[in-house]
């Protein structure tokens, strides 16, 4: 009789655990982690293009060394910042975004400086690299959106009743979103 009761308790426990959404929380958490890995992948792709861009710019013009140095240093800082998906929190996300923001700013200054060099703008290698960087920025935007979608799905799922109770028991915590940089809501002023 005791064996039957133990068996029934095991079956009851297994049934209640499967209905609590544990497996779905695991699946959604893995989707967030996978999306994060893809975000890092596209940032790395951009970082890999930068040495080629810098070398092309160096070779095609007597370029401002400080601008190139800024790009190289920002790339180094951005590529050294890797966050494990399992340790993704608000603070680490902000550090990652800050490093990537510095790199984006340095690249913007570099491309703006290029405007003063017509021979560089006509260089086919530079034009191809510039197109590759634009494509990389678009990929980053797409992957950040996918990450935020997966994060939103996961966060919503673990906050719904009764999963909110089970999520706490099994350490399923809210994941941070990518957020726009401060001041991004203001359109840049372009003057000719």
Query: In whole angstroms, what is the distance from residue 72 CA to residue 78 CA?
Result: 10
pLDDT, tens digit, for every residue of 50-100? 888 877 777 665 566 777 788 888 888 888 888 887 778 888 888 888 889
Which DSSP state fits 188? P
Which DSSP state fits 86? G
Query: In whole angstroms, what is the distance from residue 144 CA to residue 35 CA?
Result: 8
Average pLDDT over every residue of 13-20: 59
Among 129, 85, 135, 84, CA closest to 111: 129
The confidence score (pLDDT) of residue 129 equals 81
Rg (CA), the chain: 24
pLDDT, tens digit, for every residue of 103-152? 888 888 888 777 777 777 667 777 888 888 888 889 999 999 999 999 99
3-state SS class at 2: helix
**Domains along the chain with CATH numbers:** 25-169 (1.20.1440.20)
pLDDT band at residue 157 under the 50/70/90 scheme: very high
């Amino acid at each position: 009789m005791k064996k039957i009761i133990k068996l029934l308790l095991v079956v009851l426990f297994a049934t209640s655990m499967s209905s609590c959404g544990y497996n779905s929380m695991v699946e959604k958490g893995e989707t967030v982690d996978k999306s994060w890995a893809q975000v890092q992948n596209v940032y790395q792709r951009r970082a890999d293009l930068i040495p080629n861009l810098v070398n092309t710019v160096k070779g095609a013009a007597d370029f401002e060394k400080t601008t190139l140095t800024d790009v190289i240093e920002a790339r180094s800082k951005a590529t050294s910042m890797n966050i494990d998906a399992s340790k993704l929190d608000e603070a680490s996300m902000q550090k990652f975004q800050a490093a990537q923001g510095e790199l984006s700013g340095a690249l913007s200054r570099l491309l703006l400086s290029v405007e003063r060099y017509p021979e560089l703008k006509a260089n086919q290698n530079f034009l191809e690299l510039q197109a590759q960087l634009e494509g990389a920025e678009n990929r980053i935007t797409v992957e950040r959106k996918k990450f935020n979608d997966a994060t939103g799905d996961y966060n919503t799922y673990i906050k719904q009743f009764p999963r909110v109770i089970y999520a706490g028991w099994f350490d399923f915590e809210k994941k941070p979103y990518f957020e726009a940089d401060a001041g991004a809501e203001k359109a840049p002023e372009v003057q000719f």
